[in-house]
Structure 1
Amino acid sequence: MMNLSHWRLLIAVADLRNISRAADHVGISQSGASQAIAQIETVLGGQLFVRERRDVVVTAFGEQVLRHARAMLTQFEAIRALADAGRGLNTGRIRLATFPSVLGTLLPPMLSAFKRRHPGIDVVALEATDDEVETWLAEETIELGVVLNPAPERGALIIGRDAWVAVLPSRHRLGRQSSEQGVTLAQLADEPFVLATGGCTVHAHSLAAEQGVTLSNIRVTVRDLASAAVLVREGLGVAVIPQSALPEDQRGLRVMSLQPPVYREFGLVCSRTGRASPAVQAFLREL
């Protein structure tokens, strides 16, 4: 069954001439976009795009379909604008604070999609530590904050979840174990350690402490999660970082699961001002 997100994907592919960039633009994975296009072509009974070496080219049939799709979305956005104006959503501002690892990964496609649908609402994204996010929520300096592992009673909207993994130099002795077998924090306790905080109080040191383990040989502490993998590759030590922070180029690295597995969740939490804001509530509904 086709929906508005399918039509938006088709238009993005036609405009950007690239499925990967179009997938990023609408906030889905490349594999998900390719599957959706294949399903749409099956439903419509014709080929919409031709995949060439570097570009995606629209077919003659695709041009006809896209002309109608663009007109349909234009009319839909006009209807949405009327509805927004009736609910006071034609203008407004949302101040949203988050720590760096989420600001650079999860939020951009969400914010872009919301801005396209509600151009009159400004969303101001602020980078902060997790402690600062909590302080700003309490002081109502912001309407929304990304909270790490929020308690159920806070009514957070969960927007992401990933696992913590150990990152070792490729020739490290612990890397001889299978990835499925993984490593424990106790096995890493005495290793030269690169501690990456990501601007949060929850990191390898606090995770180890929860298990009664002390990291006794911390050589360097960095805020940027991606920097930790670079330092590990250079032989400065081992690190524990979220899976989402792993670099695309993992040459020289051995990535191992943690045993027992440890996860982190990101949740959007409203301040009192945010709960009363029509713009904020529209943002949460769309997510």
Structure 2
Amino acid sequence: MLDVRRLRLLRDLARLGTIAAVAEAHTYTPSAVSQQLAALQREAGVALLERAGRRVTLTPTGEALVRHTEVVLAALEAADATLAAARGGLSGTVRIGAYPSAVRTLLPPALVALARDHPALDLMVTELDPVDVPDALRDRRLDVALAHDYDVVPTAPDPALDSTPLLAETVYLAVPATLVAETLADVRQADWILGSPGTLCHTVARHACQLAGFRPTVRHHADDFTAMLALVAAGQGVALVPELAVGRPPEGVRLIPLDLRRRTRITYRKGAGDHPAVAACVAALHAAARDHAPVLRPA
């Protein structure tokens, strides 16, 4: 019988690319990871790994085993969900991750409802960028997370994760009130305020400008939409701001709705959707999204 913990290491090697990265993710030494993978290969009785220069890569059989591993891990999550439902009552720690504007708007009422209806749950919140959500869920640092993508930059499905749509928001072009503009093309000569390189907001803004036929001139980087709006009000440039992040914009900012949507999903490990604690979080977040603002459209 193959060892599930070793299968998880093989899966993570396929995902992360190096033994050093797998070791860091699991707080092992690289030597320990190598030993565990060698033991897995002996258990399998066929070659799962091969050398490619100084790196170790998966053989076709190893890649096939990774696909089976995803199924096995999902089945274990489903089994855990079944046992939790049989025990009855909701208790224990639930780690919830979300992007900043959701932490500020959607999570507080959901947390209040969960604490009221399920007082034995220990709720822990982590704020993070959506690009970091998949790894945090796979590594079990999170149990439930709000992640988003944009219709112009869709995210490919992750074989280790399941999700349910939550909402879709209009994205606005925020411009100084004195600037004459109605479309993205009208601000091709303007300075831009973007998120930090590597964030989804940064990628989306650049891609949206490219679709409009130009490359943005980036003057400032800010990862907080409130800071972006303040810079826009100060005449420092223009920015893309999704509906949840608009709040009460400062004086001197005009918001132009674009044909661009940010789409939020509630995400969790595959197989965990029927876990009572996960289901309770999903229900509370859906209620919070419905109550937050009538203008937000269910996804």
Q: TM-score range by the shorter chain?
A: 0.5 to 0.7
Maintained 8 Å contact 1:91/1:120: yes
**1:190 maps to which residue?**
189
* CA-CA distance at 1:193 after TM superposition: 1.0
Cα separation, 1, equivalents of 2:198 and 2:111: 21
The worse-fitting range, judged by mean Cα deviation, of 129-138 and 229-238 is: 129-138
* CA-CA distance at 1:188 after TM superposition: 2.2
**1:221 maps to which residue?**
221
* CA-CA distance at 1:233 after TM superposition: 0.8
Residue 105 of structure 2 aligns to a residue whose secondary structure is coil
Residue 200 of structure 2 aligns to a residue whose secondary structure is coil
Q: Structure 1 132/215 Cα, relative in aligned 2: closer, same or farther at 3 Å?
A: same
Q: Structure 1 216/200 Cα, relative in aligned 2: closer, same or farther at 3 Å?
A: closer
**2:279 maps to which residue?**
281
Which of 172, 175, 178 aligns to 1:168? It is 175
Cα separation, 2, equivalents of 1:202 and 1:216: 14
Q: Structure 1 214/134 Cα, relative in aligned 2: closer, same or farther at 3 Å?
A: farther
Partner AA of 1:232 in structure 2: V
Cα separation, 1, equivalents of 2:91 and 2:195: 39
Q: Which runs of 5+ in 2 are unaligned?
A: 1-83, 150-154, 287-299
* CA-CA distance at 1:164 after TM superposition: 0.8
**2:21 maps to which residue?**
none
Cα separation, 2, equivalents of 1:213 and 1:124: 43
Q: Structure 1 249/188 Cα, relative in aligned 2: closer, same or farther at 3 Å?
A: closer
The worse-fitting range, judged by mean Cα deviation, of 156-165 and 144-153 is: 144-153
After superposition, what is the alpha-carbon deviation per residue over 1:130-152, rounded to whole angstroms, capped at 9, x for unaligned? 12111112223221121213668
Q: Which runs of 5+ in 1 are unaligned?
A: 1-83, 175-181
Q: Structure 1 212/170 Cα, relative in aligned 2: closer, same or farther at 3 Å?
A: closer
Partner AA of 1:167 in structure 2: A
Percent identity between matched residues is: 25
**1:235 maps to which residue?**
235
Partner AA of 1:262 in structure 2: L
Maintained 8 Å contact 1:143/1:273: no
**Is 1:127 the counterpart of 2:127 in the alignment?**
yes
Partner AA of 1:146 in structure 2: L
Residue 95 of structure 2 aligns to a residue whose secondary structure is strand
Q: Relative contact order, CA 8 A, sep 6+: which one is greater?
A: 2
CA RMSD of aligned residues (A): 2.9
**1:98 maps to which residue?**
98
